[in-house]
Amino acid sequence: MILYKLSSVTKIKSGKKILDNISCEIDKGKIFVIMGPSGSGKTTLLRLLNRLEDPSEGEMFFNGEDIKKIDVRELRKKVAMVFQIPLLFGEKAVDNILYPAKLYKIEVNPEEVIELVGLKRDILNQKIDSVSVGQAQRIAIARSLVLNPDVLLLDEPTSALDFSSKIEIENLIKDLNKNLGISIIFVTHDLEQAKRMGDRAVLIVEGKKIEEGSIPEMFENPRSSELKKFLKGELK
């Protein structure tokens, strides 16, 4: 089943082409990795998927439907996003869990949600400025799970974390995919992470799609010279 279909998507910002004629398909229920060097347009591509930005040209389909025809609020209920820097709001961690539930007027059990991301219940009443970055990122992930999304978009969510927290978050994301069936679309410039995490991947360099395929295929038999260079660490 196809989750997203992008057809000749171009994004121009301040006269500069950030994404150039990207076409690709993203499968439902998998972990899809958008990889590429810094400044290649990965984050912009991710942001198009829940309409935090719109393409300048081209078409996008979500579950077979033109994304522009879907009510943006409904789309964002199904497609949650976790940002690179975990920004928490309110006074306590629990405020972050209650916020989306309040917006959509749904009941939520904060304890259940916080346990989903491997945190203890007592963190809910902790002040947001007293939690670690790793805990903040978990709370941000918990917050995005409140609405039971079908898709989780993650923009380099481990870049601000130390190695052990990074592995923990990776495992958490894999569990969410496996146990809750949430499709994951993950942006990273970290090769090893892409290898550890993904089922399929796309390589974006200077806004252009270079190669797309399954992770083993791309890492073992790279076709393009750019992917070969990226794998050797020559593209940063």
Partner 1 sequence: MIKVFIAGGLVAIAIILAFIQKIGIVKDLSFGAVRSFIQLIAVGYIIQFVFDLKGVLYQSLLLFIMVLIASYTSRGRAKKSPHAFLLSLISIFTGTFITLGVMLLMRIITTEPKFLIPLGGMIIGNTMNAVSIFLERFYNEFKERKNLIEVFLSLGASPREASKELVKKSVKTAMIPITNIMKIVGIIQLPGAMTGMILAGASPLEAAKIQIIVIYMLSASVAIAISLLALISYRFYFTPSAALRL
Binding-site ranges for partner 1 (CB under 8 A): 50-54, 68, 72-73, 76-77, 80-81, 83, 85, 87, 89, 99-100, 103-104, 143-144, 147
In terms of Cα–Cα distance, which of 175, 153, 152, 172 is closest to 164? 172
Q: Which is nearer to partner 1, 88 or 210 (CB)?
A: 88
Handedness of CA 51, 56, 60, 65 (dihedral sign): positive
Whole-number minimum distance, CB 53 to partner 1, in Å? 6
Whole-number minimum distance, CB 188 to partner 1, in Å? 19
CB distance 230 to 192 below 8 Å: no
Q: Which is nearer to partner 1, 39 or 90 (CB)?
A: 90
Query: What residues are paired with 60 via a beta bridge?
Result: 6
Tokens linked to 178: 């496996």
Distance CA 202, CA 24 (A): 8
Q: Which is nearer to partner 1, 83 or 230 (CB)?
A: 83
Whole-number minimum distance, CB 178 to partner 1, in Å? 24
Whole-number minimum distance, CB 52 to partner 1, in Å? 5
Q: Which is nearer to partner 1, 104 or 132 (CB)?
A: 104
Whole-number minimum distance, CB 54 to partner 1, in Å? 6
> What is the phi/psi pair of residue 133, to 5°?
-65, -40
Q: Which is nearer to partner 1, 52 or 160 (CB)?
A: 52
Going by their DSSP bridges, the two strands 79-82 and 16-27 should be labelled as: unpaired
CB distance 209 to 9 below 8 Å: no
Distance CA 35, CA 184 (A): 14
Whole-number minimum distance, CB 51 to partner 1, in Å? 5
Q: Which is nearer to partner 1, 144 or 193 (CB)?
A: 144
Amino acid letter, 205: V
Distance CA 120, CA 129 (A): 17
Distance CA 53, CA 153 (A): 14
